[in-house]
Each structure stands twice: as structure tokens, then as C-alpha cells.
Amino acid sequence: MPRRSLLAGAMLTLAATASIATAAVDVAGVSFEDSSNVAAQSLTLNGAGVRTRIMFKVYAMGLYLPQRTDTPTAIQNLPGSKRIRIVTLRDLGTDQFIDALIEGLKKNHPPEALASIQPSIDAFRNAMLTLKEAPKGTEVLIDWIPGGGTRLTVGGTRRGDDIPDERFYAALLRIWLGEQPADNDLKKRLLGSAT
């Protein structure tokens, strides 16, 4: 009888460990699964955190990559699909949201680099502005699809055409992972640090 109890206990421990390994990460009440699929490629959650501004929680964000890595340079150079998942934590106007993204681009790129991707910035901005607002709980997916481009999906609906310039997706990543990130704590968390 004791042997069965030990076996049952061991099985329960293994089951609990397995469920922890596949459990979603909770960020400010938003669940981020450990994996996601983009263009038939399985991606792993590299990190997730909250973007705060003047003490207000603005959105929760997760970064999905083909494999975990902890440096911005390695992320930029990693081949394959990528996903940025953002869920708003308060009501936002889309003009407010896109203006913050463009400000992040300006902080992390010299003017000539921005000028070279301006058509992509304009296309992304126009796709976002087809929405008037992003109420609390709006999901924004910004995917890199090899051979396709940057794809924007908001609330489950694809917005605009894919933007083929790979430099644009790399530029977007620098908003959160660049030398002057939108939020230093969020940058650390997206890079996989819990502190």
C-alpha cells in the first residue's frame, strides 16, 4: 500500500510540474500562453510585461520568438516568424497609440534611417487609423511573416496589407528593445528577466 501511495504522489508531482511548465503567464490580468503560432511556425514566449506611463498601466505586451534569447541584437538577427502581442489595459485613441509608437521610432533611429522606412511607417499608421479607438482589452498582434512582411491584426481583424520591408519590423522592435526603450522595466521583461 505505501508503494502505491508513493507512486500516486510521484505521478501527481509530475502532473503538477507539467502543468506549471505549460501554464500561461499572467500580466496585469492578461494571459500570455507559453507558445503561439505564426505562419505555421511555433513560437515561444520570450517575455511579457506592462507598459506604464506616468504611473498608469497602458498595455500588457508579450514577445514571441522561434527560440528564447536575452539580447536585443540576437532578437533582431533571429530568423523566422516573430510576434508582438499587445492588450490594452485602458481605453486608448488609435491616434494616441500610433503617435506613441512613432515617438518610440524617433527615439531609437537617426532621421536618415526613419526616412528610409517612411513608406512602411505611413502604411502602418494608415492601417491603425482605420480604427477610431482601442478600448480596454483590445488585442493588437504585430507579426513578422518571412516572405510576407509585417502583418497587423487588431481585435481578430487583419488591418491593411502586409508591409514587406523587414527593416520596418526590426525598427518596431527597437521601440521596446532599443537604447531608449518606451519602458525600461518592460524591456527587461521582454528579454526574459523577471526583475
At 110-127, the pLDDT tens digits run 999 999 999 999 999 999
* Domain map (residue ranges) of the chain: 27-190
For the chain, the maximum distance between any two Cα atoms, rounded to a whole number of angstroms, is 75
CA 68, 71, 86, 26 torsion: positive or negative?
A: positive
Tell me the pLDDT tens digit for each residue of 156-193. Answer: 999 999 999 999 999 999 999 999 999 999 999 999 98
- The per-residue pLDDT for range 1-56, each reduced to its tens digit, is 444 444 444 444 444 433 334 458 999 999 999 999 999 999 999 999 999 988 89
Model-level pTM?
0.86
The CATH label, of 3.50.70.10, 1.10.3720.10, 3.20.20.370, 3.40.50.800, for the domain at 27-190 is 3.50.70.10
- If you average pLDDT over residues 54-74, what whole number do you get? 95
- pLDDT value for 194: 65
